[in-house]
Every structure is written in structure tokens, then in C-alpha cells.
Structure 1
Amino acid sequence: MKRLVLVLFALLLSCLGETAVAQQNPVAGLPWQVGPVTVKLGTHATLNVPDGYAFLDAAGTRSLREIMHDPPSNGDQYTLAPKPIKWIALFSYQDTGYVKDDEKLDPDAILQSYRDGTTEANKQRRERGWDELNVIGWYAQPLYDSQIKSLTWSLLVENTGNHQRAVNYDTRLLGRHGVMGVTVVSAPDNLAAAITSFKSTLSGFQFAPGESYAEYRPGDRVAEYGLAALITGGALAVAAKKGLFTVIGSFLIAAWKFVLAGFVALSAWVKNLFKKKQSTQ
């Protein structure tokens, strides 16, 4: 995830909604699959990409990262975006094992863990000369839907140096052997609309036969942690070994630096795009 928003910003700069720009940009030459079309998310799931959306498979997403000089992630990622692009979603499968969903989530406790972890991370940020971060709170509290086995949440953070804010929307779709993670990133003032748009595509998501949560069988590998750890990047699973705040702090210091940088650029790009459109009308 730590390069997530750099990929987002690079893709948005390609401006697929602007035909003239796209024709001159190598991103336009990537193997975009335009909906309606059914695509594979590796061997674990499929997605029905509706009309008005575009998709990049793992190879296309890797090519996208190479074009933008962005090192590849450890696992395969898949890109979904509306046309014209107003937000982007990255899908990635996490081989966690079967995550039991009988844990009762405590949003206040999870938020406090993030804040305490951020305090730890800020010590390292000061040593590196980076601006410190402040966890403002939930944009949307963690919510688990037991019917569709979906966990969602959205956290709002702020760079204390320039007061730029960042927010994204995370979804974890639970399966038999692992979890499909999806992160939706958008300009903060467009996030509500982006979430609504993204949710409309989830009806087309389906785990492959034998991979759904309901197909669990005794003897399947079970994750060492529950729902809360999915929110904190798995930190709670190893908290007893390394110390809770140190683990979460390490996770935050690796991720939020890129999130904040990306949103500063993204917000400026969106504003400039609208200004250009208005000037041509």
C-alpha cells in the first residue's frame, strides 16, 4: 500500500477523460478493458466491470507503475476507474487464511490505537525531518456487513506542517482462504460520491468457486487475527511480539507519507482540470 497514492496520482495525470491528452500519453496505450466486461482478479475472484468503467489487469497495472517510475508491489494489483476518472480503486488479494468474523469491533479503541501508533511514528518522522501527522478521526467508522462478509472504514489524517488532509476508503471482502482488499482514493471533497460510485460496482464482484467465505471447511488455514487487525494493517496480530504501538507506528510511517503527498497533488490536479474545462466552455 505504501505506493498506492503515487500510482493513483500518476494514473489521474494521464487524464483518460481528456481524449486529446490521452492520445499523447503512454498510459493510453495500456491494455485497458472497457466495460461492460467480466475480468479476473487473479485466480481468486471475478469482477463484472460495468459500462462507464475501465479496468487494468495485473500486467497492465505493473506497466502503469513502470511508466510512472513506481516500483512494483509484492503482489498483483488490479485497477478499476470510472470514465472520466474521478477516483480509482486498487484490488489486491491477501493470503491471510480464513478470518473469523465473530469479533466485535470497537471503533474508539481502534482509533486510539491508530493515534498512539501515530505518536510513535511521529518520533521517527521528526528524526527524518518529515512533517508530523495527526489522526483527526473516522470519516466513516468501521462497519462489518455479515451478510456479504464485507468490512469497510475510512480514516482522516492531517499533515501538521501544511495542514493538508488525506482520506481514503478501504474495503475488505472476506473469502475462504484470504481477503480481497480494495482501496478507493479520491479528492476529499469527492469521496462521498466516489464511495457511492464504487459500491455500485461491488454487485459484480464474486469469489471463484470454492473460494467464498461460506465454503469454509474444517481444516482450512485460519488467520491468527480477526477483523480489527485487518483495519490496522495486521498490526494487532503481531502486537504481542513487537509491541502494539511500535508495529502500528511502523505501518503508519510507511503508508501515510505517500497518502498525504498524493492527495496534495491530486487535489491540485482536480482543481486545475475543472478550471481548464470551465475556460474552454
Structure 2
Amino acid sequence: MNKLTVALLLFFAMHLNAQEEVDSLAFDVASYQKALDSINNSFTYQTGEVILNNGLAILNVPEGFKFLDSEQSKRVLTDLWGNPPSEPIGLLFPEDMTPMHDNFTYAVEIEYAEEGYIEDDEAEDLDYDDLLEEMQEDIKAANPERKAQGYETMELVGWASPPYYDQKNKKLHWAKELKFEGYDVNTLNYNIRVLGRKGYLNLNAIGDINMLSTFNADREDILHSVEFTAGNRYSDFNPDIDKVAAYGIGGLIAGKILAKAGFFALILKFWKFIAIGAVALFSGFRKKLFGGGKGDDV
């Protein structure tokens, strides 16, 4: 039985017996499947052209994918997957995936950050090895704060895919391999940034490291699927009235959106998809039922 299934079983056990002591998984599996199907069937997806964030950008949902709007995505990310509250524009799923799929691969969260115009003059001169070392040290330094706030510590293992900046189309992408305390399988954090006039679109795919080849096969379709609308594009920047971000391409990759907002706020924002996040959410119940630790394979 995989970890996601155990977590979901615990979820339904808790809701079916909310006032009783949960001491076994001996409830009707058919009821579990019915409840699971009910959740997965409760969502309404979109395909084709989707207008994002009140006309800010357009998503042409790639063939083989489906889009979940902002309100439904909040429900998935926070209520079902146990992540901190956020303001997503939406979630992009492969068409055969559902939020509570036992064999989940990945989904892509889409957000917008109005941080200002990102100057890209430095892009060609960046040393990504040096940048990686800096990021590794930053994450290590943030671990005590993560621990204090109830998060697992984490380690940046390295680039799963080194940064690449498409100067012509103003699109940046890279992937990190992260190791979270207590988990045997490392996490893949694949980042895509689409630069615009006043900020950037953030397309963030997270799953375990084994989904890298799956995502790479879809990456170009996803990269080409979203564009800012006229008036919001990078080329529409007006230096007389528009704000310039306090960091460039290197800071965007490294996560140096810190100064006033706080470095730890950014580092703590890492969230993890179903196979890891759901187990973390129900780890207390799992320990009670199985007597195992977080890293146990159940």
C-alpha cells in the first residue's frame, strides 16, 4: 500500500468516525472509493483558451492537459493537500490526473508576482555553480527557522535541470532537487518564470524526483502555453512610470525576494505535492495506527 493511499484512508477514517478513537483501517474500502470518486468528480476543468487574472495573461491549455480555476485550486492546495493558504491563479493537470489520484505524477501551480520589471542584463554572465552554492547555504541557514515553525528541514541537493533563460521570449526555467527531513524520496521543484511588464508569472511543478523525465517531455508545451496580453508584456515596460524589481535574473532564481518581505517567508513557502504533503498532514495518525516514523515505508 503506497503512502498516499494510507494517508487518504486515514483521511476518510477520520471523517467517517470524527468523534471516535481511530484505531484501525477496518472500514469499508468501497466507501473510501466512493468518497474519493466524489471528491475527484466535484471539480470543473477548462480546456482551450483561458483568460488569466482578469486579462493579465492568456493560457492556451496544451493538448493533453486541463485547467482548474483559482477558487477550486485553493481548495485542492490547502484543504486536500494540506499546504499553507495561497492565492493561485490556477492549477494545470495532465488530462488523466485528478487531485486525489493514487498514481499522481504532477500538476503545475500558476501564480503571479507583481514584484516589478525584472532587468535581465546579467543573464548571460551568471555563474550557476556559484549561484547553487549560495542557495544551498541560504537554505541551510533557514533550517532552524523552518524547524521552529513546524516545518521539516530541507537540503538543496543540486540542479535537477540547470537554469536556462530564453532571451527572446523572456522565459526562464530551472529545476531543483530537494531533500526533506524524514523522507526517503527527494522532491523535484521545477520552476518556470514568464517575465512581464510589472512582474512575472510563476509556473511551479512539484512532485518527487522520479517525475523529472515525465515533466521534461511536457515542458515545451507548457512553456509555450502562456503569454502576457498586450500592455502587460515585457516589451511594454515604461521606465517613466513602471517599477523596476530590486533583483535581476540571479535573484529570481536564488529566491532573493527577501529584504522587506523577509527571507524566511520565502524559504518557508516550499510546498510539496500529494505523495509527500498528504503523508505529512496525517503523520500523527499514521504513527498512532502503525507505530512508524515519518520515513517508514508503509
- Shift in Å at residue 70 of structure 1? 5.1
Q: Give the conservation status (yes or no) of the 8 Å contact 2:88–2:109.
A: no
Matches within 5 A, 1:121-140: 121-125=142-146, 132-140=153-161
- Shift in Å at residue 109 of structure 1? 2.2
Q: Does 1:153 align with 2:167?
A: no
Matches within 5 A, 1:117-266: 117-125=138-146, 132-219=153-240, 220-235=242-257, 238=259, 248=263, 251-252=266-267, 254-256=268-270, 258-259=271-272, 262-264=274-276
After superposition, give the CA deviation of every residue in 1:40-79 in whole Å (9 maximum; x if it has no partner).
1112100111332110121222343465265531x34211
How many residues align structurally?
239
Q: 2:76 aligns with which of 52, 61, 64?
A: 64
- Shift in Å at residue 88 of structure 1? 0.6
Distance 1:193 1:99 in 2: 30
Normalising by structure 2, we get a TM-score of 0.69
**SS of structure 2 residue aligned to 1:29:** coil
Residues 51 and 265 (structure 1), Cα distance of their counterparts in 2 relative to 1, 3 Å cut:
same
Distance 1:167 1:66 in 2: 20
Residue identity in the other structure for 2:110: F
Q: 2:49 aligns with which of 10, 28, 38?
A: 38
Residues 263 and 167 (structure 1), Cα distance of their counterparts in 2 relative to 1, 3 Å cut:
farther
Match of 2:64 in 1: 52
After superposition, give the CA deviation of every residue in 1:212-233 in whole Å (9 maximum; x if it has no partner).
1112223122111111121232
Larger-gyration structure (1/2): 2
Residue identity in the other structure for 1:89: V
Q: Does 1:102 align with 2:132?
A: no
Match of 2:283 in 1: none
**SS of structure 1 residue aligned to 2:37:** coil
Distance 1:80 1:21 in 2: 25
Distance 1:130 1:201 in 2: 30
After superposition, give the CA deviation of every residue in 1:82-131 in whole Å (9 maximum; x if it has no partner).
12123211111110111110113221222112221122123345667865
- Shift in Å at residue 248 of structure 1? 4.7
RMSD: 3.2
Percent identical pairs in the alignment equals: 27
Residue identity in the other structure for 1:135: L
Residues 88 and 226 (structure 1), Cα distance of their counterparts in 2 relative to 1, 3 Å cut:
same
**SS of structure 2 residue aligned to 1:72:** coil
Q: Give the conservation status (yes or no) of the 8 Å contact 1:232–1:248.
A: no
Residue identity in the other structure for 2:41: A
**SS of structure 1 residue aligned to 2:93:** strand
Match of 1:115 in 2: 136
Gaps of 5+ in 1: 1-5, 14-19, 268-281
Gaps of 5+ in 2: 12-32, 98-104, 280-298
Residue identity in the other structure for 2:42: G
Q: Give the conservation status (yes or no) of the 8 Å contact 1:78–1:91.
A: yes
Deviates more, 1:208-217 or 1:117-126: 117-126
Residue identity in the other structure for 2:119: K
Match of 1:274 in 2: none
Match of 1:29 in 2: 42
Residue identity in the other structure for 1:49: V
Residues 162 and 63 (structure 1), Cα distance of their counterparts in 2 relative to 1, 3 Å cut:
closer
Distance 2:40 2:164 in 1: 35
